[in-house]
Chain A
Amino acid sequence: MPGPDGKTSGLVLHYEGRDDWAPRVDPHLAQALDAKLAEQAAAHSAIKIEPRLLDQYVGRYGNAQVEITAASDGGQLSGLVTRRTLLAGSAASLLAAPWVARAQANTLRIGMQSILSGPIALLGTSSRNALTIEQDRINATGGFLGRPIEFVFRDSKGQPQEAARVARELVNSTGCELLVDAEASSASFAVQEVVRDLGVACIHTNSETSSLTADPKIRAPTAFRVARQGVHDAVAGSLYLAEYAKAKKLDKWATCSPDYAYGRDTTAQYLQFFKKFKPDVEVIAEAWPKLGQPDFTEVITKLLQAKPQALFSLLYAGDLSAFVNQGNVYALFSQMTVATPNVDYPVMAAIKNLPAGIQSATRYLDTFPNTPANKEWGQAYLKKWNERPTNWSWQNTVAMQFYEAAIKKANSLDAKTLAAALIGLKINTPFGFDGTITMRDDHTTIGYAIGWGQTTPKEPFIVDVKAADWGQIIELETEWKQQHNYI
């Protein structure tokens, strides 16, 4: 309802199935409160308090004006202050005007959730490793707006419901002011809806599914993606392979990809672009092994029988490693050209006899882009964690570089202000094809390094890397978006 000044006089808050009436706070009072809070925040420094001591304060307190509910969670005391007030023309009602008082108010908490256990735990652990390095780096240079940052890492096991719950909890209970969503695609869509609901700033760092940001119905105002986008990789890979196939006169292809949504859909997407660039290509055999199938022998012998000139595969991780080892037994790699976007450092480290000449994308390679900055970062990571960085490591690193630049530019942590600062932001980073990566207005990054080369058994593992042409990628991506009515 309009107040005396014509502005909305309050909001109805939907909370846990209840409707609460929240009138507009008097602007003078609000200003005074903010000033007071800022003053207090600046004057206080973080101290450690025994959780036992905090627990003594847990409970409910109140007088005629206010009611205070104190709760303790993981060594932090939080208080919910509710003012008892009498509204003109209505019955006595509880007005929720909560703020959270914290023992360590000065530290800026950033929530990160990912898959940190199970067979694809590497996704989460290599993301966490990269973020830990970033945390140290950022804190050494004064943190964000003078506040030290601290990550809160949570394992969602990649399950969408759990991911949504964890994201909500990170913001509402743990007091995280920024989110890094390092989930794989399935869970990132659930997190997206939580972010839309809470209006918190969030960067998705591992979800490559194009529609997360490309589809305007799914895109959220304060959520961004700093990661590869599926359609970019498909265009870049198909362009490279079409060129390669033309040069080597490879017309007869076979495919061998895992038998589930990723394998089937992404193979179709690559083939669609591939046939566009090289219309005379013919797919003469398809194999769809199950995910985690122990033995690929019958798949391999079938491919040998079909005698294609080249094979495209989306197998990855343990499956790719088993396929390469079993393919070696049949000398498969000397009988056809094999192309896959998925040879990354963990696979190269696990396969003892990596065949030479597999055409592969560079998920992350410390020699591509071949710059001192990239090499230095890759080696520092290797030294600190005793394993090589993954594709997910660089994506999480760049996410923090974007937060850093945007917060500096906006001089604020407010989600909407940050979102405005992020759009169109171009940062200098070792992982860009020209030393920069840009956040486009559809909330996804462009200009990151995409290259294809061929494998070699020894370091640097992938050589003769050709960089993809971003002009072409964006042109074809635009066409693809039009086909899907995204623009």
Chain B
Amino acid sequence: MDLDALGSCLAMPACVVTQTTSGLIVGMLLFLVAAGVTLIFGVLKIINFAHGTFYMLGGYVAYSVLGATDSYALAVVSGALATALGGVVFERALISRVYGSNVLMQLLICYAVVLIFDDLVKMVWGPEFHAMGMPSAFQVPPLFIAGGVVPPFYAVLVGIAALIAIVLALGLSMTRFGKTVRAAAINPQMVSALGINTTVLFAIVFAIGGGLAGLAGALAAPVRSLSSGMGFSILIESFIVTVIGGMGSIAGALVASLMIGMVRGFGTIGFPGFTDGLIYILMIAVLLLRPQGLFGRTL
């Protein structure tokens, strides 16, 4: 524990800016993945353990598209679209068969998908790790704000993720489709009875969830290494986000992701070697004081 370092960091604008940026980038990319987990759970009551696979595939597809076209924008869009499509196929072909069945059965299917795709990635892209490399547009020196370091690339990523958070929030609360999704989350039988095609609705929810995870993987590909099995660590953190924020709550996912980002950003200064522990302590505290999560409905 190094509380002096944390104190002096908080007293310095430069340190606050740098660590906040670092917390934001970690938090916002995590949000994109966790939003899908929480959305799918909220509407379908499926704990999607295969969600990390979409994150991984998004990264790999973007890597290949960038290699072929040299356009980062195209790479990111293809990564997101490919995994959105993958989400639909995954839901229609596998998950739709186990709605309402034992959670162990759902877990088994998701885990099988994780293993199969980890191996497929090895067969297609090889067992070695890959690095996409920074697109040339972003090969620029970092900005300095109040003495703190803000890399332009990260500013853009945070901006995109924030935009998506806003679109998701507005879409769910203002549009007819959003209202249907929320209604389906509360009472799917009633929604179905009202003549709404829930089959299409569920597929779209999986498309959004898969697409967001793929988007996160594609956006992060220039700075993170691509390897088979990379979806696993981000999946664990997504579940922590879902527990803290409340199962099924997009706002909760955003707040919890940012909390985890900030705990990482500032925890590494004040509690080096115990940053991960802090995240779990946060989770335990939420579970004790508010078991349904910060924004969750009472169970």
**Using a CB–CB distance below 8 Å, which chain A residues touch chain B?**
117-119, 121-122, 125, 286-288, 290, 292-295, 297-302, 304-305, 317-319, 321-322, 325-326, 328-331, 346, 350-353
Contact = CB atoms under 8 A, between A and B. Distances in A.
B139 interface: yes
B128 A122 contact: yes
A299 B19 CA distance: 10
A301 B265 contact: yes
Nearest to B130: A350
Nearest to A352: B133
A292 B233 contact: yes
Nearest to B119: A117
Interface in B119-175: 127-134, 138-139, 141-142, 149, 151, 153-154
A119 B121 CA distance: 12
Contacts of B83: none
Most A CB contacts (10 A, CB to CB) among B220, B225, B233, B269 go to B225
10 contacts: A295-B29, A297-B26, A298-B19, A298-B264, A301-B149, A301-B268, A322-B131, A325-B222, A329-B223, A350-B130
A290 to B, nearest CB: 7
Contacts of A121: 127-128
A330 B133 CA distance: 14
Nearest to A320: B225
Contacts of B25: 295, 297
Most B CB contacts (10 A, CB to CB) among A118, A293, A319, A326 go to A326
Contact of B134 (A297, A319, A353): A353
B23 A331 contact: no
Contacts of B276: 290
Contacts of B26: 295, 297-298
Most A CB contacts (10 A, CB to CB) among B130, B268, B275 go to B268
B225 A322 contact: yes
B229 A305 contact: no
Interface in B205-226: 220, 222-225
A303 to B, nearest CB: 10
B224 A351 contact: no
A350 B141 contact: no
B18 A352 contact: no
B228 interface: yes
Interface residues of B, number: 46
A326 B153 CA distance: 10
A77 to B, nearest CB: 36
Contact of A325 (B149, B223, B229, B234): B223
A301 B233 contact: no
A325 B269 contact: no
B230 interface: yes
Contacts of A299: 268
A351 B129 contact: no
A88 to B, nearest CB: 62
A330 B151 CA distance: 6
B227 interface: yes
Which 9 interchain pairs have the tightest Cβ spacing? A352-B133, A318-B129, A318-B225, A322-B225, A329-B151, A301-B22, A298-B268, A350-B131, A121-B127
Contact of B142 (A293, A331, A351): A331
A305 B133 contact: no
A293 B233 contact: yes
Contacts of A302: 268-269, 272
B157 to A, nearest CB: 10
B235 to A, nearest CB: 11
Nearest to B222: A325
A119 B127 contact: yes
B15 A305 contact: yes
Nearest to B8: A305
A245 B92 CA distance: 61
Interface string B255-299: 000000000110111001101100000000000000000000000
A352 B127 CA distance: 19
A119 B229 contact: yes
A295 B272 contact: no
B141 A331 contact: yes
Given A298-B22, A350-B128, A351-B131, A322 B233 contact: no
B49 to A, nearest CB: 18
A326 B224 CA distance: 7
Contacts of B127: 117-119, 121-122, 125
B109 interface: no
Given A287-B268, A297-B25, A305-B18, A321 B129 contact: yes
B46 interface: no
B113 interface: no
B101 to A, nearest CB: 32
Contacts of B138: 329
Contacts of A287: 268, 272
A293 B232 CA distance: 10
